[in-house]
Structure 1
Amino acid sequence: MIKIWSMKAKEAAAEKKKPKTSAAQIRVQKDLSELEIPSTIKMDFPDPADILNFRIIITPDEGFYKNGSFTFKFAINQNYPHEPPKVRCVQKIYHPNIDLEGNICLNILREDWKPVLSLHSIMVGLQYLFLEPNADDPLNKEAAEDLRRNRQQFAEHVKKSMEGNTINGILYDRV
């Protein structure tokens, strides 16, 4: 009888040592299991045990950024889905809605975030920024002004920047 009690005590102690699954992790697991992403988006988990930190790679198949490859880091905190994930672009790119530090101007990552939105919503929003850059809500004012004034010149600057060239004294990453 004493042996049974000591075994139960050991099991209980082992159970306490297991990391608890947070509400954020449960929600992320649900979001990931329901994902239906297009072939233009790939996911990468540097640490498969850490589903709260991952990357996606977007490879647009049309628009100004066609054939580029853009990596975004997702960092999801424990308040997800009540707070949006922190998302940053890894490369320095010439885009009206992405600044040179990788910050992204996407309304659902800021003031329009709602807990009913999912990771899928963010991925679709990011992909849409490459199909239709928004010059009316810029983080990179120079790129936005370029897009507003002269779409042809903007297209040339995007192409040059994607090749890893310098535009107006700023060296961009080859994507």
Structure 2
Amino acid sequence: MIKLFKVKEKQRELAENANGKTPGKKQSAGELRLHKDISELNLPKSCVISFPNGKDDLMNFEVTIRPDDGYYLGGTFLFSFNVSPIYPHEAPKVKCKTKVIKHVHASMMQVYHPNIDLEGNVCLNILREDWKPVLNINTIIYGLFHLFTEPNYEDPLNHDAAAVLRDNPKLFESNVRRAMAGGYVGQTLFPRCL
């Protein structure tokens, strides 16, 4: 049976070569699944996906989120996705970034958020212990979007921001506005993201 598949594969390659086509790079199962996920995306209008390395590199892409509600209304947040060849058996690696327009490059973003630390790591359960192969890129993007509309102080990466959100939501809102405007919160200067 296996030899039959190898023979058919070889015949397909020979037929492509005879037609003047060069044999294409074989896609991993992860790339095939990711291609399917991306073709079926159904994102909110405030989320945009882009491929900075071109469509040939599906495994590395970016998602921009512009919350239309909540504390982070008006902000622009960029996330990089690095997808493993064994996807969906392993969750993508997701980092929060920001584009520095003046310098036209991307760097790790510092965002005042209870579920995102100052190195850009994201605390979202479906990217860790609750990941299952039935989940997809659409689910992750909606999860990230939800972090901005409903930040969670019960599962924090930034414990200071979580404590302020829990104990003084008005101060938290003020801190978010100051950080998004490019100001200091405590000893940390945040990049402007409005």
Q: Say if 2:149 is the partner of 1:131.
A: yes
Paired amino acid for 2:83: I
> In 2, Cα distance between the equivalents of 1:60 and 1:9?
50
Equivalent in the alignment of 1:115: 133
Equivalent in the alignment of 1:75: 82
Aligned pairs for 1:2-21 within 5 A: 11=17, 18-21=24-27
Equivalent in the alignment of 2:191: 173
Task: Call closer, same or farther: CA 1:160–1:82 in 2, change over 3 Å.
Answer: same
Equivalent in the alignment of 1:158: 176
Shift of 1:16: 8.3
Paired amino acid for 2:25: P
Equivalent in the alignment of 1:3: none
Question: Which of 40, 61, 66 is matched with 2:73 structurally?
Answer: 66
> In 1, Cα distance between the equivalents of 2:56 and 2:15?
28
Shift of 1:158: 0.2
Q: Say if 2:106 is the partner of 1:88.
A: no
Shift of 1:18: 3.0
Equivalent in the alignment of 1:5: none
Alignment check: 8 A CA contact 2:16 2:22 kept: no
> In 2, Cα distance between the equivalents of 1:74 and 1:25?
13
C-alpha RMSD of the superposition: 1.7
Shift of 1:15: 7.8
Q: Say if 2:51 is the partner of 1:33.
A: no
Shift of 1:11: 2.8
The number of equivalent residue pairs is 167
> In 2, Cα distance between the equivalents of 1:166 and 1:82?
40
Equivalent in the alignment of 2:10: none
- Identity value in percent: 48
> In 2, Cα distance between the equivalents of 1:115 and 1:15?
34
TM-score, normalised via structure 2 length: 0.82
Task: Call closer, same or farther: CA 1:43–1:10 in 2, change over 3 Å.
Answer: closer
Shift of 1:79: 1.1
Gaps of 5+ in 1: 1-7
Q: Which SS does the other structure have where 1:65 is aligned?
A: coil
> In 1, Cα distance between the equivalents of 2:21 and 2:119?
43
Paired amino acid for 2:129: E
> In 1, Cα distance between the equivalents of 2:77 and 2:150?
15
**Which deviations, in whole Å up to 9, do the C-alpha atoms of 1:80-106 show, x marking residues without a partner?**
000000000012100000000000000
Gaps of 5+ in 2: 1-13, 98-108
TM-score, normalised via structure 1 length: 0.91
**Which deviations, in whole Å up to 9, do the C-alpha atoms of 1:115-170 show, x marking residues without a partner?**
00000000000000001000000000000000011000000000000011111110
Shift of 1:17: 5.6
Q: Which SS does the other structure have where 1:89 is aligned?
A: strand
Deviates more, 1:63-72 or 1:163-172: 163-172
Q: Which SS does the other structure have where 2:32 is aligned?
A: helix
